[in-house]
Amino acid sequence: MMLSDAQRQAFARDGFLVVKQLITPVEAKELAADYDGLASGQIRHATWNGRDGASGNLGMRQIPFPSLVLEHWQDHAYRRRALAIARELLGAEIEFLFDQIFMKPPHCGVEVPWHQDAAYWGEVGSGVTCWLALSEVTVAHGCMEFLPGSHLGGILPHAKAALDHHYEANPEMARNHLIAEGIDSSTAVRVPLQAGDATFHHFKTLHSSGGNTTQSVRRGLATHLSLPSQRITRHMARLAEYAQSLSGKLHAE
């Protein structure tokens, strides 16, 4: 068991949980080196990043399926611990669904709008995201924000939004960016983290993040875990197709 009763109860009540030092700062630093290789393009991988429409600066880099190219991540301690915790929270059938890098460069004004992961994932029955900080993530870096208890309601209507700050390499995906409609975020909780700390949020928990106003990079690694999908949304089907084409391309090289 990795969690205490109090932690499991907090997750059931709030829909999110902070786990300090899921990995050590040294492990986080090692992963950050791989991470920076991907984010800088040194390690070849398709990205959906683009420019920040407002400033023209580099926008948030959202890189899908990093562990397709960084294969040693698939069996890394962070992944094993994330899965073990997800199973303690939601049951033994929980499996890895997919992963993504959310990197905000210095002075990147991009905000991730309020949403529920369930709006993207569809009828996966149950799921949780482990968001691991690979460097210090303060409020000024644009840390994760959660609405406590929001997982207890249903999946809210989400508007489709074409965000111009990323996905320019794949405009098809941009049209599927989702924003929860009509929410009151006055009770939101901001969660700053140290390198190696993680949050776990339920797939129905409303969450968002602000821009990075600091001079340092904000490094977040999301690992999405769910019951084996029976029905997935068209968005997820496209994502899966994209991953397959990506891995085909990468293996052909």
Ligand X SMILES: O=C(O)CCC(=O)C(=O)O
Q: Report the interface residues with ligand X, using CB under 6 A.
A: 102, 112, 117, 129, 131, 207, 209, 220, 222
Give the Å distances, CA to CA, from 60 to 35, 90, 142, 174, 247: 14, 30, 11, 13, 23
Write down the least CB distance from residue 220 to ligand X, Å: 4
Burial class (CB in 10 A: 0-12, 13-18, 19+), 213: middle
Write down the least CB distance from residue 249 to ligand X, Å: 25
Reported as type and span, the H/E element at residue 96 is strand 95-104
Closest CA to 209 of 150, 163, 142: 142
Which residue's CB is nearer to ligand X, number 181 or number 249?
181
- 43-211-30 Cα angle (round to 5): 35
Which residue's CB is nearer to ligand X, number 4 or number 112?
112
Write down the least CB distance from residue 248 to ligand X, Å: 26
SS (H, E, C) 29-55: HHHHHHHHHHHCCCCCCCCCECECCCC
**Measured distance CA(250)–CA(77) in Å, rounded:** 25
- Identify any residues that bridge with 159 across adjacent strands, giving them in sequence order: 179
Which residue's CB is nearer to ligand X, number 179 or number 250?
179
Write down the least CB distance from residue 207 to ligand X, Å: 6
Write down the least CB distance from residue 203 to ligand X, Å: 9
Write down the least CB distance from residue 71 to ligand X, Å: 22
Which residue's CB is nearer to ligand X, number 6 or number 19?
19
Which residue's CB is nearer to ligand X, number 68 or number 222?
222
**Measured distance CA(132)–CA(175) in Å, rounded:** 27
